[in-house]
Amino acid sequence: MADELTTTLLRTPIPDRNESLMGYLLRLTEENCYSSPLWILQHSGIKANLTKGWNGWLGEKAGLEKLQNTIRLPDDEFLRLRMWRDGFSDSWILRDHVRFGIPKVCPGCLQENKFCRRIWELMPVTVCPRHRTFLLDICPDCSQAITWNRSKMSMCRCGCDWRNVETAIANNLDLQPSLLISDLLDSTELTDRKRRNPLYGLRLDDVLVALSIMVNHMNGMGRRSFFASATPNRACHKHFTSAFLVFEDWPDSFHRMIEEVRKEASFYTDYDYLHQRLSDESIRPGINFIMLALESYFDDLWLKTERPYGWDQNTRRRFLKPSDVCLQLGVSMKQLHHLVQRQLIAVASLDGSNEKFLVDTQALEEFARQAFSELLVSDVCRALGITHEDVTDLMIYEFLVPTSGPTVDGLSEWRFSSESIASLIGRIRHIISGNDATDKVQELVDLDFIHPRLLTYQLGLGAFIKAVFDGNIMPLAEGPSRTGFKAIVEGRCVGLQCFLFSKHQILSWLRANKPSNIDLIDTFSDLVTFLNKLRKMQGNRFTRKQPGLYNEDHMVELARHVQADYVARQRSEAEGAC
């Protein structure tokens, strides 16, 4: 067939479920008798250099769309070839762990079925898990690295047929990393998950990250990558097998590795890099066990009066002891256990349960941000222009719903979201906007007038707000703000004191809703006037915090005094009549 491409290829066999994109393009090259996969890529408008690898053109959207049309694959099939997914957890695999440059092959697999397995392209896979032989990345005849820029699936450009090559057989230890990755990639339930190797409980992407972190640290690379696309397979095998052994007999083997690196390096900089790298991977809770083991090692050094380089017991920790968390949050150990049991704070278990644990600082910061960014009761009082008892009454009527507190998350102080306060104000404001039948002649009063009368009639603010929402009391207007706390609640809340009501309607509602055991003075329609007279009679016994708003404790005492005085006068009048 001529080396010219039509719009689509003549032969497009169905991709195998274990085949990679570049391997499939190589198979199409052989099926359609082209000299190199470059012909297919160039026809799709993709500029590629296969000697340096094939990851450089994976981001060319237009070229990939044209390539998909050329090889005639549906969207889901093409995406599966392009992207790496963990078969066990269906999570994406980072490209850092894929070897795009020099391909690897297994002679035994090519003899059985001639296509390139995608698992061969993963860095830590250095042995074929099926045939238990080392993968081939150097042609034994020409001693050149195998390249994607060839025309045959199983043959080198020098003419060597790799299917006839015998490769070394790996021992059981050499085989373990490749077997683990193969099981995870194929969604196989692992039989060795109970081993004392934490890798057997991870997702595939976490396994690859954990192995890479160990390889980098053991070779003094810090946060940089130790491997390149041209790193020989034998070198990859040596380092990844050593990294795998670090996770055997965990965490003792890990601590021994740190000691060995420490003796060779003679300084602690590498530990700082390792801690930073693990912090960078904090989005992966699966590998938190490495950070736990590292900080445990640091703690042991600290007890030995040694000071790891760059390590601070208080500010650098990723996991905190429960006692330290209690001090930060101001809660008791019992309250902290309550938060952990309700999964409000994420922890790392030390014994497989939530009895012994350390607290993740990032989870703690998130909890504190949500819990302590809300408004305290005192903030709500200032924002709405009401008292602490009024807030409690509004909570009873569920007009204010706390986001934190003794019955919510076990913390000692009640806290409220600014949205709940703004919602309360907004509901009253909405009633005003829908009230078109306002009598402009009637006298209007605000909360300064209403509040002392609620105390006198032993009615709470919650009952009053309920009457407003039930339509028994109509807010008629909204006056100017007098609280000065707009910034507290989204810059919009102006408090309950700014709403104006009909004085006649308020007094009528108070008389109609007073408790049955209370019979109070109705002749003093303006209680403030009465209080001023009574204050003069009692020698200024009752003081005021500000004009029109009396001290709350004095108001309660005054209400009781008024009731007692009225009952005494009624009794005196009855005796005189007799």
Amino acid at 117: R
- Strand-pairing partners, residue 532, are none
What is the average pLDDT across 535-563? 49
Q: Is the pLDDT of residue 258 over 90?
A: no
7 vs 169, residue with greater confidence: 169
Instruction: Give the Cα separation of 525 and 139 in Å (integer).
Output: 106
- The CA radius of gyration of the chain, in Å to the nearest whole number, is 38
Q: What percent of the chain has pLDDT over 90?
A: 16
3-state secondary structure of 450: helix
Instruction: Give the Cα separation of 236 and 243 in Å (integer).
Output: 11
- Strand-pairing partners, residue 416, are 375
Q: Is the pLDDT of residue 486 over 80?
A: no
- Give the tens place of pLDDT for each residue, 172-214: 889 999 999 988 877 544 545 445 789 988 888 889 999 998 9
What is the average pLDDT across 432-438? 62
Q: Is the pLDDT of residue 299 over 60?
A: yes
Q: What are phi and psi of 369, to 5 degrees?
A: -60, -45
**Residue 1 banded pLDDT, cuts 50, 70, 90:** very low
What is the average pLDDT across 305-319? 64
Among 66-80, 244-258, 536-550, name the one with the lowest average pLDDT.
536-550
Residue 18 and residue 118 in contact, taking contact as beta carbons nearer than 8 Å: yes
**In terms of pTM, does the model score above 0.75?**
no
**Residue 353 banded pLDDT, cuts 50, 70, 90:** low
**Closest to 69 (Cα-Cα) out of 34, 44, 35, 37:** 44
Residue 153 and residue 33 in contact, taking contact as beta carbons nearer than 8 Å: no
Residues 6 or more apart in contact with residue 562 via CB below 8 angstroms: 456, 520, 521, 530
Q: Is the pLDDT of residue 488 over 60?
A: no
Residue 470 and residue 431 in contact, taking contact as beta carbons nearer than 8 Å: no
Q: Tokens standing for 219?
A: 């070779």
Q: Tokens standing for 392?
A: 């409690």
Q: What is the pLDDT of residue 232?
A: 86
The number of CA neighbours under 13 Å toward the Cβ of 506 is 27
Residues 6 or more apart in contact with residue 314 via CB below 8 angstroms: none
Among 143-157, 180-194, 455-469, 479-493, name the one with the lowest average pLDDT.
479-493
Rounded mean pLDDT of the chain?
76
